[in-house]
Amino acid sequence: MSNNQKPVDELSDTEAAEELAFLVTELARHDALYHGQDAPEISDADYDALKRRNDLIEARFPALIREDSPSRKVGAAPSLTFQPVLHARPMLSLDNTFSDEDARDFVASIYRYLGLIPDHSLAFTAEPKIDGLSMSLRYENRRLVTAATRGDGTTGENVTANIRTIGMIPQTLPAGAPDVLEVRGEVYMAKSDFAALNAEMAAQGKPLYVNPRNTASGSLRQLDAKVTASRKLRFFAYGWGEVSEMPADTQFGMVEAFKAWGFPVNPLMRRFHSADELLEHYHQIERERPDLDYDIDGVVYKVDRLDLQTRLGYRSRSPRWATAHKFPAEQAFTRLKGIDIQVGRTGALTPVARLEPITVGGVVVTNATLHNEDYIRGVGNNGESIRDGRDIRIGDMVIVQRAGDVIPQIVDVVMDERPEGAAPYSFPTACPVCGSHAVRDINEKSGKVDAVRRCTGGFVCRAQAVEHLKHFVSRNAFDIEGLGSKQIEFFFESDDENLKIRTAPDIFTLERRQETSLTKLENIEGFGRVSVRKLYDAINARRSIALHRFIYALGIRHVGETTAKLLARSYGSYEAFGAAMNEAGSYSGDAWNELNSIDGIGEVVARAIVEFYKEPRNVKVISDLLEEVTPESAETPVTTDSPVAGKTVVFTGSLEKMTRDEAKAKAESLGAKVAGSVSKKTDIVVAGPGAGSKLEKARELGIQTMDEDEWLALIGS
Ligand SMILES: NC(=O)c1ccc[n+]([C@@H]2O[C@H](COP(=O)([O-])OP(=O)(O)OC[C@H]3O[C@@H](n4cnc5c(N)ncnc54)[C@H](O)[C@@H]3O)[C@@H](O)[C@H]2O)c1
Ligand SMILES: [Zn+2]
C-alpha cells in the first residue's frame, strides 16, 4: 500500500512524485499477475483504485507524468508460450469513469473537444462492459485465419486453435462480409458454466476456481486446445480493427452488421442523445447486473459517429471517444485497532489505520489510510470541520470504504459505539524513525499550515537518506545492478569508514576505499568475490550517464523522470543546467525566466529546483558526485520522421478547423513540442485570426509563422 493516501488536492508535488513512483512498480506487478498469469493478488476494484489514483495525481501534476506511466501502457507483455501476433491496429484499453458527474463530464468533454455547443446533437452508445478478456478475430476472405489476445496492445498471443473450439464464434462469414475483417470483442465464461465447473471441481475434491474472468482467460490461454474445448467459453463482439470495407458509419451500425454476419452481440446496447439517458441506462443495467448470466464491471459509453471517433482519436492507451463507467465500490464497518505512522522519502508522516480484518466487496482489508492528523482530529487546517467534527479514536467502530478513486480509507466513525475511556488520538511530534522533531510547515504564500507533518531529520533520518539512495540507484535513475534495497540498507547501516554508503558519491568511492580496507567486502556474508567484482563493474559502468538520469537521480523535490527529461533537453549539458540553476537562485533574471518558460515546468517545480541548489549540502553532494561521474550531454531526440518532429510549436489566435486541444494533441502525436509562449526556442508559430502579442514577438525574433491552413498542409492533414 502507498504510504501517502490523502486527497489528491492536498498532495504536495513531492508527495505526488513519490506516490507516482510507487504506483508504477505496484501496477506493473499486478498487470503481470493478472494478464500474464491469470492469478491476481488483489481485486479489480483495488487495482482500479490504484490506477485511478495514478490518473488523478497525473491530472493534477502533469509535469510529473512519468515516461513509464501506467496511464500510457496497455495490459502486459504477451507470454512466450504462444506465437506472437502483431495487431494491424493497436488493441487499446478504456478510460474509466467512476461517478455520474464524471460521466456527464465525459459527454461535455466530447462536445468541447470537437468545438461544438453542448446540445443534444451527438449520439452515444451505452453497453455493458463485459468482464472477460479481449480478443481479436481476423477473417480473410470470410474465413477465420487468426485469433489473438490483446497482449501489450501491440503484440498479442496467437490462440487461434483455442478459439476454434468456441462454438458461437463463426469460422466462416456469409457472402457480403468484407474481404478483410478484424472483429474484436470479449471472450467470457457464463456465471452458470462457472458454477457448474466449480461444482465438478468440488465433487472431485479439487481446488475451486476464483472467478469467471480469470478462469476464462486461463482456459483460453492453454497450449492444449482440448482444455479450452471442455470449458464452454462464450463471446460478445463490440469492436473492430482492420476492415477492408466499412459496412456502416456509426458504432451502432457496425455492431448491427456484426450481428447480421453471425457474431453474438450484447442485447443491452442502446443509443442515446444525452448524458441523462446514458445514466438512466447505466442504472438500469446496474439493477439487472445480479440477474445477468455474465459478469460485468461497468457500462461503456462510445461516441456513435465514426467520423467523430476518428477526429477524437486516441490517447496513448485509450480512445478519447469512449469511457467505461465502472460500478461503485462498497463500505463496511470494523474496529480500529491502532494507528501506525509511516515516514516517506521526503519525511512526511502518514497515519495508517490498523483494522480488525474485514471483507469489503469481496476483499479482506486490514489497513486503510487516515490521510493526516487533521483528518483524524476532524478539524481541517483552516478550522473547517471534517465529518462534522467527529474525531477518530483507537478502539472506534469505523466505516471503511473501497471506492473507485481511492485506496481503502476510513470515511466515518460510529459515535454510539465508541468504547468508554477511548482517548483522543495524539499525533506524534517526533519522527518514529529517527526521533527528530516533526513539524508542519507554514506555506509562505497562503499563510496556511501544511496538512502534512514532516521529520526535520533530513540526512540523519534513515527513512529519508536510505530512500534517497534507493531512488538514486533505481531503475530509471542510475540503475546500478547488484545495488538493490537490501544492499543499500546494508551499506547505509555500516559504521566502517571503508564500507559505509551515506550519500550518492560514496557509491563511487567504495572500490577505492576497499583497496586499503581491512574489512573486505568479499568476506562479508552475501557478497562473494565474483559478486563484488560484478558490483564494481556495474558501478563503473555508470561513470558516464545520460543527463536526464543524472538529474532525476538527484531526488530533487517535484522532479520526476518527465521533468528531468524536459530539463535535460532544454539545457543540453550539466554545466549549462547547474550554472543556470545557481543563477536562477535570485528568482528573477534570464535564468529564472527561462526555467519557467519551459513547457511542462510550473512555478512549484521551478522553485523546488532552485531551492535544492540553494542548500549547500546538496551542492556539496553534487560536486563530489561530479568528481566521480560524467553526465552525458543530451541531444534533442527526433521521435518520428514527420516534418515537425522535434520542433517547438506555439498556437495563437483562434483556430477554425480544430480546437486547441485537438491541435495540441495532433502536433504532439507527430513528435512536436507545444509551448504556451514564444521564446528563442520556438520554431513555428501557428497564428489564427485575432493573434496578438505572440505573433508580434515571433516576427521580432524572426520565427517562422503560418496560418492554420499552412500548418495543416505542412503536417499533411
Ligand atoms: N486485480 C488485478 O490485479 C488487476 C490487474 C490488472 C488489471 N486488472 C483489471 O483489468 C482491467 C484493466 O485492464 P484493461 O486495460 O483491460 O482495462 P478495462 O478492462 O478497464 O477496459 C478495457 C477493456 O474492456 C473490455 N471491454 C469489455 N466490454 C467492452 C465493451 N462493451 N466495449 C469495449 N471494450 C469492452 C475490452 O477488452 C477492453 O480491452 C480492470 O478491470 C482492472 O481492474 C486487475
Ligand atoms: Zn526522521
Binding site annotation covers 127? Answer: yes
Q: Which three cell numbers stand for residue 308?
A: 467523430
For residue 431, how far is its CA from the centre of ligand 2 (angstroms)?
A: 5
Binding site annotation covers 302? Answer: yes
Average pLDDT, integer, range 66-95: 90
254-304 pLDDT tens trace: 999 999 999 999 999 999 999 999 999 999 998 888 789 998 989 999 999
CB of 130 sitting under 6 A from ligand 1? yes
| pLDDT value for 2 | 35
Cβ–Cβ under 8 Å, residues 325 and 298: yes
Parse the chain into domains and list their residue ranges.
84-326, 480-541, 545-632, 648-714
Pick the atom of ligand 1 nearest to 134's CA.
37
Average pLDDT, integer, range 123-147: 97
Binding site annotation covers 80? Answer: no
| pLDDT value for 13 | 87
CB of 30 sitting under 6 A from ligand 1? yes
Q: Is 448 a catalytic residue?
A: no
SS3 label, residue 331 = strand
616-654 pLDDT tens trace: 878 888 999 999 999 998 765 445 678 888 888 999 988
Domain 545-632 grouped into CATH 1.10.150.20: yes
Residue among 24, 25, 44 to mutate when testing ligand 1 (max atoms within 8 A of CB): 44
CB of 300 sitting under 6 A from ligand 1? yes
Q: What is the DSSP string of 257-304?
A: HHHHTT----TT-EEESSHHHHHHHHHHHHHHGGGSSS-EEEEEEEES
Measured by CA distance, the residue closest to atom 42 of ligand 1 is: 44
Count the alpha carbons within 13 Å of 596 in the hemisphere toward its beta carbon.
13
CB of 28 sitting under 6 A from ligand 1? no
> Is the per-residue pLDDT at 443 higher than 50?
yes
Average pLDDT, integer, range 39-52: 78
Task: Using alpha carbons, list the distances in angstroms from residue 103 to 274, 315, 325.
Answer: 11, 18, 7
Measured by CA distance, the residue closest to atom 6 of ligand 1 is: 31
8-state DSSP, 686: E
Q: Which three cell numbers stand for residue 675?
A: 509551448
Q: Counting Cβ atoms within 10 Å, is residue 96 exposed (0-12), middle (13-18) or buried (19+)?
A: buried
> Is the per-residue pLDDT at 446 higher than 80?
no
631 sits in which H/E element: strand 630-632
Pick the atom of ligand 1 nearest to 40's CA.
3
Higher-scoring residue by pLDDT: 170, 50: 170
Average pLDDT, integer, range 494-519: 93
For residue 482, how far is its CA from the centre of ligand 1 (angstroms)?
A: 36
| pLDDT value for 526 | 83
8-state DSSP, 314: B
Average pLDDT, integer, range 371-383: 88
Measured by CA distance, the residue closest to atom 39 of ligand 1 is: 93
Binding site annotation covers 47? Answer: yes
Q: pLDDT-derived band of residue 670, with 50, 70 and 90 as boundaries?
A: confident
Higher-scoring residue by pLDDT: 257, 77: 257
Measured by CA distance, the residue closest to atom 36 of ligand 1 is: 134
**Residue 574: which of 633, 624, 530 has the closest Cα?**
633
For residue 16, how far is its CA from the centre of ligand 2 (angstroms)?
A: 20
For residue 314, how far is its CA from the centre of ligand 1 (angstroms)?
A: 17
| pLDDT value for 1 | 35
> Is the per-residue pLDDT at 661 higher than 60?
yes
Cβ–Cβ under 8 Å, residues 546 and 577: no
Pick the atom of ligand 1 nearest to 48's CA.
43
Q: Which of 6, 51, 73, 129 is catalytic?
A: 129
| Residues linked to residue 260 through DSSP beta bridges, in sequence order | none
| pLDDT value for 404 | 42
Measured by CA distance, the residue closest to atom 35 of ligand 1 is: 129
| pLDDT value for 635 | 63
622 sits in which H/E element: helix 616-628
CB of 221 sitting under 6 A from ligand 1? no
- The interface predicted TM-score of the complex, written ipTM, equals 0.94
> Is the per-residue pLDDT at 593 higher than 70?
yes
| pLDDT value for 664 | 82
336-366 pLDDT tens trace: 999 999 988 778 899 999 999 987 755 678 9
Measured by CA distance, the residue closest to atom 30 of ligand 1 is: 129
> Is the per-residue pLDDT at 442 higher than 70?
no
2-19 pLDDT tens trace: 333 678 888 888 889 989
CB of 152 sitting under 6 A from ligand 1? no
The three state secondary structure string of 233-268 is EEEEEEEEEEECCCCCCEHHHHHHHHHHCCCCCCCC
Cβ–Cβ under 8 Å, residues 368 and 408: yes
Residue among 23, 69, 134, 240 to mutate when testing ligand 1 (max atoms within 8 A of CB): 134
Check the CA dihedral 248-254-256-261 and report its sign.
Answer: positive
Average pLDDT, integer, range 425-433: 94
Does 648-714 match 84-326 at the fold level?
no
Measured by CA distance, the residue closest to atom 38 of ligand 1 is: 93
State the chain's mean pLDDT as an integer: 89
| pLDDT value for 104 | 97
For residue 625, how far is its CA from the centre of ligand 2 (angstroms)?
A: 25
8-state DSSP, 158: B
> Is the per-residue pLDDT at 586 higher than 80?
yes
Residue among 129, 240, 402 to mutate when testing ligand 1 (max atoms within 8 A of CB): 129
674-699 pLDDT tens trace: 888 888 888 999 998 888 888 999 99
> Is the per-residue pLDDT at 38 higher than 70?
yes
Measured by CA distance, the residue closest to atom 31 of ligand 1 is: 129
| pLDDT value for 406 | 45
Average pLDDT, integer, range 133-153: 97
SS3 label, residue 651 = strand
Binding site annotation covers 571? Answer: no
For cell 486461463, the residue is 218
> Is the per-residue pLDDT at 403 higher than 60?
no
For residue 454, how far is its CA from the centre of ligand 2 (angstroms)?
A: 8
Characterize the bridge pairing of strands 684-687 and 673-675.
Answer: unpaired
Q: What b/e readout covers 84-93, taking b as 16+ CB neighbours within 10 angstroms?
A: ebebeeebbb
| pLDDT value for 267 | 98
- The C-alpha atoms of residue 480 and residue 462 are separated, in whole angstroms, by 21
CB of 306 sitting under 6 A from ligand 1? no
For residue 346, how far is its CA from the centre of ligand 2 (angstroms)?
A: 9
Average pLDDT, integer, range 92-112: 94
Binding site annotation covers 574? Answer: no
455-470 pLDDT tens trace: 877 656 778 888 889 9
Binding site annotation covers 44? Answer: yes
Average pLDDT, integer, range 512-520: 91
Residue among 33, 150, 186 to mutate when testing ligand 1 (max atoms within 8 A of CB): 186
Thinking of the domain 648-714, which architecture would CATH place it in? 3-Layer(aba) Sandwich (3.40)
Pick the range with the lowest mean pLDDT from 170-174, 240-244, 700-704: 700-704
Predicted TM-score of the model (pTM): 0.57
First to last CA, the chain: 46
Residues 6+ apart with CB under 8 A from 573: 547, 631, 633, 634
CATH number of 84-326: 3.30.470.30
CB of 44 sitting under 6 A from ligand 1? yes
Taking CA 257 as the corner, what is the angle to CA 252 and CA 258, rounded to the nearest 5 degrees?
100
> Is the per-residue pLDDT at 47 higher than 80?
yes
Cβ–Cβ under 8 Å, residues 167 and 335: no
Q: Which residues surround the ion ligand 2 when the cut-off is CB under 5 Å?
A: 431, 433-434, 436, 455, 457, 461
Phi, psi (degrees; rounded to nearest 5) at 125: -100, 155
Measured by CA distance, the residue closest to atom 29 of ligand 1 is: 129
Q: What is the DSSP string of 567-607?
A: HHHHH-SHHHHHHHHHHGGGS-HHHHHHHHHSTT--HHHHH
For residue 495, how far is its CA from the centre of ligand 2 (angstroms)?
A: 19
173-232 pLDDT tens trace: 999 999 999 999 999 999 899 989 988 888 887 777 867 888 999 999 988 999 999 999
Q: Which of 115-119, 243-247, 378-382, 445-449 has the highest mean pLDDT?
A: 243-247
| pLDDT value for 156 | 96
CB of 217 sitting under 6 A from ligand 1? no
